Chain A
């Protein structure tokens, strides 16, 4: 079956250029004059951009360390430094990379992650991001500030929105001091507007996968999501997704599926296994099974960003995320997705070092299966630490799961 090839997107070349340009802005010679803010992937990037910061997202670097498989060699350095192998392997990969002075950016001719002037976190996703940022704050003696969003939220009610919105507003003053710019509300509105447009386009991209055959898979999306994560709030991200969306619409018009002979449709719950994206994409393609939807890629849709209510809109958008919700809204969301994407089976990735993105631990697969009658499989692995991944067990689990779907 070695003849199977994955289908590339024309647009991808543009994306490479775009991401390369962004990295150069942050790490190239021109970056010297700029104020750099580190930001968590679902942190208040719009505010930072409006204040004139160049925004760097270390989780993106974490994913790159995973995808290049550098992570597995670097994590032990952070472990030896005192960061346990049981905690976030983005954190341990990234700190390992810092300790060793090696990064995938080096291959692009860049020196490595930029030194921060300020690190801004949001605990909506986990506590690890704050611990991670504080390490660098101590290293560089720079401020680390952020939002303490509640977790396991049921309804995102007004109290929560007010609580988080107030915290965002309180970031303004220290950030103005650090960055040297006063916040211009019109600029903030403009950035929020661009950010919302970007995430709406990203949503449209993801929704093309509701068609059978799907023109795009989860594995493509994990790469294509780059601009939605790191460039939201900028026009170039919007321009990119317009191009990608047009290509997807063309595939739909031509009846071109990402997986040849798509037979089954899978929902991927949990994080990607970055170092194994290609192997997994190929295995699913061989099994004529398309992974068409995921919690992960859908996490960068921020419908409620609102230029007219900048702080509340951001607070709501960043507190409504799947990752910081309790199991009831998570389950309701999954049910909607299963229906909308016409899912035959759900794969839960139980990522050892990220309990926050692993939803198979509190009986949810069993509950959802009882409600929807859609079968599931759980695979044990990790986002970055391939020491926690068994290629053979995963391969067999996936193959056996597709066999099971074929009996239905």
Chain B
């Protein structure tokens, strides 16, 4: 059996996926990206290989993506996270689609045609609004663990959002709400709604809406709100936090098959 590996070293989390020739995920793992990307990459690879009893020598090609894509010495190629998220999302739905990836530090909107070819893309401006960093900051202010947010937001039927573009201003708004005795669930839902608004104002969507990344993987309710804002349903692919790494693995497989390694 041959395997292909994709590794996505993101701003906060590094994800690694190993697939078989059919594109099935046979091993995956994640950990904080940390401060030494090469070390993180090596740790991820050995832990997945050990856990799934995969012989490293059978991994015929590896491709890196994400912020740390240049820091994986053993990868045989690299692509941007824009290409990889598109590739990974398209694999599951095979339709004209708009992929929205909400990452820790940036959000991306990627338009793909029926054949999965990219038509255009947009990354958010350099600002935490509309990213995972914003949600983390709000969780911090509310002394909540990130894992509690989804259920809390879902428990609220209060459909407002924080008004400000700026994370610092939004955090101040949160303080005001705490002082005014607003329910925590309502505040979290407002925070979700503001992430949604920041994303909605980035770009239009065409075709089916697919959302990827750690934020929606852990907070499917946020994806639901995002879909509602676009008047459509937001689809979340399996292993949504791994979509970039999975896409990278698919590119690795494709490059071997087309025999035109980059």
* Chain A residues within CB distance 8 Å of chain B: 369, 375-378, 380, 388, 390, 392-393, 396-397, 399-400, 403-404, 407
Query: Within 8 Å CB of A397, what residues of B?
Result: 123
Query: Within 8 Å CB of B119, what residues of A?
Result: 375
* Chain B residues within CB distance 8 Å of chain A: 67, 79-83, 106, 117-123, 125-126
Query: Within 8 Å CB of B120, what residues of A?
Result: 369, 375-376, 404
In this complex, what residue of B is CB-closest to A408? B117
Interface of A is mostly: helix
Kindly state the separation between the CA atoms of A407 and B112 in the bound complex, as whole angstroms. Answer: 12
A403-B79, A403-B82 in contact; A396/B117 too (CB < 8 A)?
A: no
CB pair A400 B125 closer than 8 Å: no
A400-B82, A403-B82 in contact; A380/B125 too (CB < 8 A)?
A: yes
Kindly state the separation between the CA atoms of A375 and B117 in the bound complex, as whole angstroms. Answer: 13
Query: Within 8 Å CB of B121, what residues of A?
Result: 377, 400, 404
CB pair A378 B122 closer than 8 Å: yes
Kindly state the separation between the CA atoms of A67 and B118 in the bound complex, as whole angstroms. Answer: 35
A404-B118, A407-B117 in contact; A390/B82 too (CB < 8 A)?
A: no
Q: Whole-angstrom distance from the CB of B210 to the nearest CB of chain A?
A: 18
Kindly state the separation between the CA atoms of A220 and B253 in the bound complex, as whole angstroms. Answer: 39
Kindly state the separation between the CA atoms of A206 and B222 in the bound complex, as whole angstroms. Answer: 50
CB pair A396 B80 closer than 8 Å: yes
Query: Within 8 Å CB of B118, what residues of A?
Result: 403-404, 407
Kindly state the separation between the CA atoms of A377 and B106 in the bound complex, as whole angstroms. Answer: 16
CB pair B80 A392 closer than 8 Å: no
CB pair A393 B80 closer than 8 Å: no
Interface pairs (8), CB distance under 8 Å: A380-B125, A392-B67, A393-B106, A393-B126, A396-B123, A397-B123, A400-B83, A403-B79
Nearest first, the 3 A-B pairs at minimum CB distance are A400-B82, A400-B80, A390-B126
In this complex, what residue of B is CB-closest to A399? B80
CB pair B126 A380 closer than 8 Å: yes
Kindly state the separation between the CA atoms of A390 and B124 in the bound complex, as whole angstroms. Answer: 11
Query: Within 8 Å CB of A369, what residues of B?
Result: 120
Query: Within 8 Å CB of A377, what residues of B?
Result: 121
Q: Whole-angstrom distance from the CB of B93 to the nearest CB of chain A?
A: 19
Q: Whole-angstrom distance from the CB of A34 to the nearest CB of chain B?
A: 45
Q: Whole-angstrom distance from the CB of B260 to the nearest CB of chain A?
A: 12
Query: Within 8 Å CB of A400, what residues of B?
Result: 80, 82-83, 121
Q: Whole-angstrom distance from the CB of A355 to the nearest CB of chain B?
A: 15
CB pair B123 A393 closer than 8 Å: yes
Query: Within 8 Å CB of B82, what residues of A?
Result: 396, 400, 403
CB pair B126 A403 closer than 8 Å: no
Kindly state the separation between the CA atoms of A377 and B122 in the bound complex, as whole angstroms. Answer: 8
Query: Within 8 Å CB of B126, what residues of A?
Result: 380, 388, 390, 393
Kindly state the separation between the CA atoms of A375 and B106 in the bound complex, as whole angstroms. Answer: 22
In this complex, what residue of A is CB-closest to B82? A400
Kindly state the separation between the CA atoms of A349 and B67 in the bound complex, as whole angstroms. Answer: 22
In this complex, what residue of A is CB-closest to B125? A380
Q: Whole-angstrom distance from the CB of A27 to the nearest CB of chain B?
A: 38
Kindly state the separation between the CA atoms of A378 and B203 in the bound complex, as whole angstroms. Answer: 12
Kindly state the separation between the CA atoms of A407 and B113 in the bound complex, as whole angstroms. Answer: 12
Kindly state the separation between the CA atoms of A369 and B120 in the bound complex, as whole angstroms. Answer: 10
In this complex, what residue of B is CB-closest to A390? B126
Query: Within 8 Å CB of B81, what residues of A?
Result: 396
Query: Within 8 Å CB of A376, what residues of B?
Result: 120
Kindly state the separation between the CA atoms of A378 and B126 in the bound complex, as whole angstroms. Answer: 13
In this complex, what residue of B is CB-closest to A378? B122
Q: Whole-angstrom distance from the CB of B151 to the nearest CB of chain A?
A: 33
Q: Whole-angstrom distance from the CB of A134 to the nearest CB of chain B?
A: 32
Query: Within 8 Å CB of A404, what residues of B?
Result: 118, 120-121
Kindly state the separation between the CA atoms of A397 and B118 in the bound complex, as whole angstroms. Answer: 14
Q: Whole-angstrom distance from the CB of B247 to the nearest CB of chain A?
A: 12
Query: Within 8 Å CB of A392, what residues of B?
Result: 67
Kindly state the separation between the CA atoms of A396 and B118 in the bound complex, as whole angstroms. Answer: 15
Kindly state the separation between the CA atoms of A377 and B120 in the bound complex, as whole angstroms. Answer: 8
Q: Whole-angstrom distance from the CB of B248 to the nearest CB of chain A?
A: 13
In this complex, what residue of A is CB-closest to B11? A392
Query: Within 8 Å CB of A407, what residues of B?
Result: 117-118
Kindly state the separation between the CA atoms of A236 and B82 in the bound complex, as whole angstroms. Answer: 49
In this complex, what residue of B is CB-closest to A407? B117
Kindly state the separation between the CA atoms of A403 and B106 in the bound complex, as whole angstroms. Answer: 19
Kindly state the separation between the CA atoms of A204 and B181 in the bound complex, as whole angstroms. Answer: 70
In this complex, what residue of A is CB-closest to B65? A396
Query: Within 8 Å CB of A390, what residues of B?
Result: 126
Q: Whole-angstrom distance from the CB of B229 to the nearest CB of chain A?
A: 21
Kindly state the separation between the CA atoms of A390 and B125 in the bound complex, as whole angstroms. Answer: 9
Kindly state the separation between the CA atoms of A388 and B127 in the bound complex, as whole angstroms. Answer: 10
Query: Within 8 Å CB of A403, what residues of B?
Result: 79-80, 82-83, 118
Kindly state the separation between the CA atoms of A398 and B205 in the bound complex, as whole angstroms. Answer: 22
Kindly state the separation between the CA atoms of A388 and B79 in the bound complex, as whole angstroms. Answer: 26
Query: Within 8 Å CB of A393, what residues of B?
Result: 106, 123, 126
Q: Whole-angstrom distance from the CB of B64 to the nearest CB of chain A?
A: 12
